[in-house]
Amino acid sequence: MSGKILDLQGIRGIAILAVLGFHFFPKCFPNGYLGVDLFFVLSGFLVCMLLTGSEAENMTKIEIFCDFYTRRLRRIVPLYFLFILTSLISLHTFFPKIVIERNEKSAKRAIFFISNQLKSNEDNYFEQMNSAFDIFTHTWSISVEIQFYLLAPFIFLVNFGKLPRKCVFSGLLLMSYGYNFMYLQEDLAFFDIFARFWQFFMGILVYLFWREKRSQDDYDILMDNEDSEENEKKNNWIFQTVLVVLLIFGVFLPIPIHAKFLSLIIFFVIPIIAILNLEKIPSKISNPVEMMNIEWSLKDQQNLRYSKCFIETGHLFGKCYHSDLNSDSNSTKNEKKFKIMLFGNSWAANHAAIVHEECGGKASEILQIAAAGCEPLVELECYDGCNKFSLEIQENLKNFRPDYAFHIVRPFGLTENSTENLENDRIFQFMLEKTQEISKFVSKKLYFLNSIPDVNTRNIARIVQFLERNQTDQLDKILIDSENHYEIARNRITNLVEKCGEKCEIIDYYPLFFNEKTGNFRFYDENGYSYLTGGNHLSPKGLEFIRPVWRKLCEGI
C-alpha cells in the first residue's frame, strides 16, 4: 500500500491542472496561478511532517538538519539541474542570439536559486511570461521553495519555551500576511520569500492540527473496524465535497478576482472551516479503558525515556547513569551498596523505572545501556551497528565491574534458526561464548530475562470489545503473535543459564502471564487494561503487574 496521503495527491493534482490551465488557457482560467500557492501550502505540510518525524526518531538537531537537507535536495536538485542543462542546450540551438545573453544571466540566477529576486521593472512575471523571451522565468517558484527549505528547520527547531507550536506559527503566519498585504507592491509580493511565508506556515498549521486528530485514525487500523469507517464516510462526504468544490471554484473561476482577496478566502477560510469541523467530529471511542490502551501505545516511545536516567546525546537509547538512587527506597544508610548494570534493547529502557524503584535503594550506581532492536549476545550479519553495540556492552562491563547485571531484551535473533542439538546451534554457541566472557566482569549475579510471546498489536485496541462480549478465550488466542517463536528463545536462554552455572539466574514472567486454567497467555487484566503496548513493550499497567518479581529479586540481593 502506498505511503502517500491520497488527499494531498488530490490537492496536488488540482494545483497542477490550475497552473496548466493558467498557462495554456489564461482567459478561461485567470486565477490558475494560485495553483503555485497551493504547492507552497503543500510544501509547508510536507516540511512539518518530515521535521516532526525526525524529532519522533529522537535525532539530534544536527542530524535533523542533515537528514532534512539531504532528502529535500536529493529530490529536487538532480532533475532541476538537468532541466537547466537541457534548457541551455536548447537556448544555443534553437533561439535567436538576441535573447541568449539575457537567458544566460537568468540561468545563473536559477542555478543559485535566486530567480525570485527582482532586479528591474522588466522582471514582472506576467510580462516575462507573455513575451516568452526568458525560458527560466518559471524557476522563481523553485527558488522560493529552496529558500524556505534553507530557513524552515531553523524556524521549526527554535525553542519557544512553553508556547505551543500552533500559536507560534499562527503568529508568524499573520505577520507574513500583514507584511504581504500592507507593505509590499504587488510585483514584489509575488516573488518575495517573506511575503510567501504565510502560505508555507498555513501548510505547517494544517499538519499540526491534522496530526493532533490523527491518533484516532491510527487506531482504527488496530481496531480494524469497517463499520466505524463506513459511518465516518457517510457523515463527512458532504462536507469534504463542499470543500473541494470551493477550492476548485476559487482556482478555476473564469472571472479574475484580486489575488490577495482570493488567496485570503482559499488559504484562510477553507482551512479554518476544516479545522472547526474536525473539532466537532465526535470520538468513536468513549470507553476510558480503550482510550488508555490507545494512549499507552501512542506514547510508547516517549515512555521509554526515564527522567532519572539522562542520556547526554539526547537520543532515546544509549548510555546513562541513574540519579536519586535512594529516593524510591526504604533502605538504611548503613546498608551495603552494590553496583548494578542494566543492558539490552528497548526492553532494558522499558524496565528502567522498575529497576530504579526496586533496586535503587541498594545501589551505589546503576548504569543503563540500551540500543533499539539489538541483542548483546546475538551476532547479526545484516546489522553491524548491533555488533558494535555488543562490543560496547562488553567494554562497559569490563570497566564498570558491576556486582549485579541484568540482561533485558525482547528477543529477535534468539527466535531464529533453531536446531535440536544445541551443540550445533550457532546462535546458542555464540551466546554461550559471549556469556562466559562477560560473566567474568560481574562479581555476584548475572540475570537473564526469559522470553514471552509478542502480541498481535492490531488487536490491542479490541481487548475491551471482546471482554464486553465475554469472548476471552478467543481474545487470548488472537492477541498472541503466532509468527513469534518465543519458545526457541526460551529454550536457548534456559540452557544458557544452566551452562553458565551459579553466577547466572533467570527472571521469568511466564508464570505471571500464562493462565493455567485456559492454557493460554493473558496480557490484560479483568478490566481490559493491556499489559503490552503497540510497540510490544510493557505498558504502565504491565510494569505494575511484574513489579512483585523485581521487588522479591531486589530484596534478596
Contact 218, 298 (CB under 8 A): yes
Specify whether 210 is located in the same domain as 313.
no
Q: Does 58 share its domain with 168? A: yes
The 10s digit of each residue's pLDDT in 30-74 is 767 777 888 888 888 888 888 887 776 667 788 888 888 888 888
Are 286 and 66 contacting, i.e. CB atoms less than 8 angstroms apart?
no
Most confident of 276-280, 317-321, 364-368: 364-368
> What's the mean pLDDT in 97-122?
78
**Per-residue pLDDT reduced to its tens digit, 364-407:** 999 999 988 888 988 866 556 788 888 999 999 999 999 999 99
Tens digit of each residue's pLDDT (9 = 90 or more) over 322-366: 998 875 555 555 577 899 999 999 999 999 999 999 999 899 999
Same domain, residue pair 381 and 508: yes
3-class DSSP string for 102-129:
HHHHHHHHHHCCCCCCCCCHHHCHHHHH
Contacts of 210 (CB under 8 A, 6+ apart): 45
Same domain, 195 and 313: no
Q: 106 and 10, same structural domain?
A: yes
Q: CB of 357 within 8 A of CB of 347?
A: no
Task: Determine contact, residues 268/276, Cβ cutoff 8 Å.
Answer: no
Please identify, among 218, 253, 276, the residue that sits at the C-terminal boundary of a domain: 218
Q: How many CB atoms lie within 10 A of CB 131?
A: 12
Q: How confident is the model at residue 513 (pLDDT cuts 50, 70, 90)?
A: very high
Q: Is the pLDDT of residue 201 over 80?
A: yes
Are the C-beta atoms of residues 510 and 451 closer than 8 Å to each other? no
User: Residue 194: inside a domain, yes or no?
Assistant: yes
CA distance 557 to 402: 13
The yes-or-no verdict on residue 280 having pLDDT over 60 is no
- One domain, residues 206 and 343: no
Q: How far apart are CA 308 and CA 557, in angstroms?
A: 22
Question: Same domain, yes or no, for 330 and 449?
Answer: yes
Q: Are residues 186 and 82 in the same domain?
A: yes
Instruction: Dump pLDDT digits (tens) for 413-448.
Output: 888 877 778 888 888 999 999 999 999 999 999 999
Domain assignment of residue 36, yes or no: yes
**79 belongs to a structural domain:** yes
User: Does one domain contain both 308 and 214?
Assistant: no
Domain total in the chain: 2
123: containing domain: 6-218
Enter the pTM of the model: 0.55
On whether the CB atoms of residues 49 and 204 are closer than 8 A, the answer is no
- Write down which residue in 166, 197, 218 finishes a domain: 218
Q: Is residue 274 part of a domain?
A: no
Give the rounded percent of residues in the chain with a pLDDT score beyond 90. 27
Identify the CATH number of the domain in which residue 507 sits: 3.40.50
Rounded-to-integer distance, Cα 38 and Cα 198, Å: 12
Sign of CA dihedral 185, 188, 189, 195: negative
Residue 279 has pLDDT above 50, yes or no: no
Which of the two residues, 328 and 144, has the higher pLDDT score? 144
Distance from CA of residue 276 to its chain's centroid? 26
Residue 281 belongs to some domain of the structure: no
* Strand intervals (E) in 294-408: 319-321, 338-344, 363-370, 404-408
Same domain, 84 and 212: yes
> Which of 218, 246, 276 lies at the terminal end of a domain, its last residue?
218
Task: Specify if 506 maps to a domain.
Answer: yes
Which residues are CB-neighbours of 543 under 8 A, at least 6 positions away? 350, 351, 353, 354
Would you say residue 174 lies in a domain?
yes
- Across the chain, how many H-helices and E-strands are there? 22, 8
Q: Is-contact 455 478, C-beta < 8 A?
A: no
Neighbour tally for 201: CB within 10 Å: 27
- Matching residue, cell 466505524: 228
3-state secondary structure of 337: coil
- 405 and 496 both lie in a single domain: yes
The answer as to whether 55 is a domain residue is yes
Q: Both 187 and 90 in a single domain?
A: yes
